[in-house]
């Protein structure tokens, strides 16, 4: 692993909290902690965008709104409206769930058209397209990536990491290798799903993964301080 500072490591992590059952005060504490630890972003439900933007203003941590989470099963025009709202109230990045049904049906033009609508609505903010690799064949991953790259998304992301799917598995090194191979520097790569410790993060960063989505950012930074910082 190339030598990383704690700040550089934190800036590779999208600290995620998509729990709809937390209280307002609990989210305030989450945003304050994330700001103090310099995570690249907080990936959050859109209803907390304005609150997060206020707390994170002037920090190194961006508001990353999760659009159409977790299923992605609303019309593209409604996703775009959700993006417009999030950007208006302070989102600096957008994570959106692609139309998985279109992928499984082979309707890749819908994937392209949706991505273009999302990008337009994001008004220059980085857009990450989430494709749920665990539910796709390699052929589907390749075809989907080509449409998303053609639409000029900023990142392609491996998974929502939503635990409500019966068959959802954790993100893997193989996911990262496949995405890096298919994307081939034409977009950035984000891996998410079960990334909980510093060793996993180091392996992914060494492969050239650009961003990692995790709800375990604090634990990962703790691991870095214990095992990597002075080595």
CB 27 within 8 A of CB 35: no
**Listed residue (79, 81, 85) closest to 97, CA to CA:** 79
Strands (E), 78-123: 93-97
95 is catalytic: yes
Which of 95, 128, 175, 188 is flagged as catalytic? 95
Structure tokens at 215: 């709800």
CB 119 within 8 A of CB 127: yes
157 is catalytic: yes
SS3 11: coil
Which of 175, 188, 190, 210 is flagged as catalytic? 190
**Listed residue (126, 139, 127, 215) closest to 170, CA to CA:** 215
CB 119 within 8 A of CB 154: no
Name 93's bridge partners: 64
User: Cα separation of 207 and 58, whole Å?
Assistant: 31
104 is catalytic: no
**Listed residue (29, 27, 12) closest to 214, CA to CA:** 12
User: Cα separation of 164 and 223, whole Å?
Assistant: 28
User: Cα separation of 166 and 227, whole Å?
Assistant: 34
Which of 79, 128, 157, 188 is flagged as catalytic? 157
Q: Virtual CA dihedral for 162, 164, 168, 172, nearest 10 degrees? A: 30
Residues labelled catalytic: 95, 157, 190
């Amino acid at each position: 692993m190339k030598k990383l500072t704690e700040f550089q490591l934190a800036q590779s992590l999208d600290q995620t909290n998509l729990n709809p059952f937390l209280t307002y005060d609990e989210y305030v504490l989450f945003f304050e902690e994330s700001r103090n630890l310099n995570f690249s972003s907080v990936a959050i439900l859109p209803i907390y965008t304005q609150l997060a933007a206020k707390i994170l203003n002037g920090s190194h941590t961006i508001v990353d709104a999760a659009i159409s989470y977790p299923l992605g099963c609303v019309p593209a025009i409604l996703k775009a409206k959700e993006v417009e709202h999030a950007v208006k109230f302070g989102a600096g990045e957008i994570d959106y769930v692609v139309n998985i049904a279109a992928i499984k049906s082979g309707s890749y033009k819908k994937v392209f058209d949706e991505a273009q609508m999302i990008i337009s609505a994001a008004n220059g903010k980085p857009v990450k397209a989430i494709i749920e690799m665990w539910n796709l064949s390699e052929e589907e991953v390749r075809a989907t990536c080509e449409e998303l790259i053609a639409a000029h998304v900023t990142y392609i992301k491996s998974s929502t990491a939503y635990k409500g799917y019966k068959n959802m598995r954790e993100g893997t090194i193989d996911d990262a290798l496949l995405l890096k191979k298919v994307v081939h520097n034409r977009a950035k790569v984000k891996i998410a799903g079960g990334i909980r410790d510093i060793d996993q993060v180091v392996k992914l960063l060494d492969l050239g993964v650009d961003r990692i989505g995790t709800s375990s950012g604090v634990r990962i930074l703790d691991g870095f301080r214990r095992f990597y910082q002075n080595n």
